[in-house]
Structure 1
Amino acid sequence: MSLYPQMIIRPEKIVENTLKVMSWLKPHHIDICGVTKVTCAHPAVVQGLLDAGIREIGDSRIENLKRIRPLVGPDYPLMLLRLPMLSEAEETVIHSDLCLVSEKSTIQALSKAAGKQGRDYQVILMVDMGDLREGVWEDQVADLAAFTVKIKNLRLRGVGTNLACYSGAEPTWETMEAFGKLGLEIAGQFKIENPVFSGGNSSCLPLLRQRGMPAGVNHFRLGESLLLGVNVLDRTRLADLDEGGFELKVEIIEIQRKPSVPTGSIAQNAFGEKPQFTDRGVHSRAILAIGRQDIQIRGLTPLMPGVEVLGASSDHLIVDVESVAHKLKVGDTLSFRPSYAGLLAACTSEYVKKTVAEE
């Protein structure tokens, strides 16, 4: 079995980041749901969150929740983050304890599934505060809540929102204040005990660090900040978090000196694109054994000075190594820090080996 490409996981970095973020949120009485979806709920990532003291884990896929359950035990709360499909209502109720919802038909399906299982199931109503992904508009929440509290076998836990995922709509004080106020109104109107006002994801942390968080917001669903240590609004390092939780190591399969501009006229490449090239003369170029089938190319930051990512086909990554200080050869490996998109693709690819670094 080949060793590469290999995604190296450093759980101690995840623990350190999580503990720091928890210390930021504690004065504001905000709880964390640790999100594992970007790594397909890798056991080392799950364990890192548990070791840091995370008391709830969420994922977007039932398959991942199934993998998590044996690691956390039967009584540990698991949240399904993606709105459940009607066709998976029964599995949702079996493998999670609560989920996010926005459609009455889904609520009815969950109620029926919970009745079959002889249990009560919990739901959080999603509100669209401007990102234009999931959720009803603010003026529709009360109607959806009134509908939900009348449904058998379901317990309304609160409301949630999501920002800076699809459209990149940034959480502002005004947006979060409106969300918190709405949550408090819904909780009061429908007498929700211990309500959850899930104010979003890692995109909320810069605002919290700068100004705090408006009244009401008491819950975040966090993944990227804990795992990668970045400010998700601009992908710079967030405060003193550690960006070294993951490292992609890839083997060199060719090194040649070649022109920097192709020969002849340029048509579309294999992905329907027409690349643009800058003539920099003849340079040393390395081909690595990974490609677009495994990784998001723009999501790779070389860890060796002098390496520059040029592009990729489905299974070849081309990098410029002209400025590398020492001589590279076939069989050597190069390492990269993955972005969220890069980590997501690599962890999903069965061709990328996942290993846990020894402390």
Structure 2
Amino acid sequence: MSSRLQAEHLYKVFGRRPDDAVERIRKGADREELREDGVTAAVIDASFSVAPGEIFVVMGLSGSGKSTLLRMLNGLLEPTSGRVSFDGRDLTALDDRELREVRARKISMVFQHFALFPHRSVRENAAYGLEVQGVPRAERERRADEALALCGLAGWESSWPDELSGGMQQRVGLARALATDADLLLMDESFSALDPLIRRDMQDQLLELQKTLKKTIVFITHDLNEAMRLGDRIAVMRDGRIVQTGTAEDILLRPADDYVASFTKDVDRSRVLTAESVMDTEVRGDEADCGCETADPATPFTQLCALSARLSHPVAVVAGGEGEGGERRLVGVVPRQRLVGFLGGRPGTEGGEPVPCDRPGDARGEKVISRA
């Protein structure tokens, strides 16, 4: 996978002699030992990469280091150790002028608390980043209006921030970031201050925009449901360290440790899982009846449950050609009790033990099915 943004062994230590503290950590010292000496290790040995057009979510509890990590990505905080690269350029090696130029043109931030100027109109707020770039007024107003329209705020351009609801104000913040046409969006708990319904609307808005704009996004949140809804991949942080990175299914079905597992116990699994996630690739002969209705590997969990309720046998999961004369392969089956087990957080066999999820194409149980 090609990467647009890379973080390599990032450390951020606050306090006296931070370089010495990094060496102590590398030799096995923990955060508590450093804290006794008046030193705070906010981020410890964080490494990850973000692909072009990917929404990469960093989640963790308050104090886990996620916001500090984000601020190192655009140079608002200088790493104590490590490197940040964007489009192959080492951002940690730039001088102040070069870094300001990158932040003005290449990287935009969307903050948690809107950060709108109360004395500027909605249009002027959305155009602010372009004003910093020196874009002529007519051009920046045109681009600001286009970004506001993308965010559902057409007709509100001349309004003042205090005339808008919280959700609308956050849309202005998002429009300001989009107006600059920055390649990288950094979103720091951007929806956390919103009411639940408005927050979900903003998530929908971001996902809809992403279908067209395909921005590279790093999104910070403490909410695992939000992380799983938005993220192509998720990094879970604890005590300054990234403890697991993976897709929503990886985090949900294969948690790296008890800490990650504790996050997932209250997650609405039906919004994350697909037939591929839950199917059993060990297919017996009496389970191979595909009937008239089948699922494909990408079938959402909720649709799978509805399909299972209509059938008297396990749901067959098939993959393969759709054209005339094409063949489909049976890649797995989903017994009803397996659906219940996953929904209740007990994936696996009758014994309740979690099992790895095989991918389509696994040789086990694979069978050619004639096209109905």
Q: Same fold (TM over 0.5)?
A: no
The one of the two structures with greater contact order (alpha-carbon pairs below 8 A, sep at least 6) is 1
- When you count helix as a share of all residues, which structure comes out higher? 2
When normalised by structure 1's length, the TM-score is 0.30
Tell me which structure has the larger Cα radius of gyration: 2
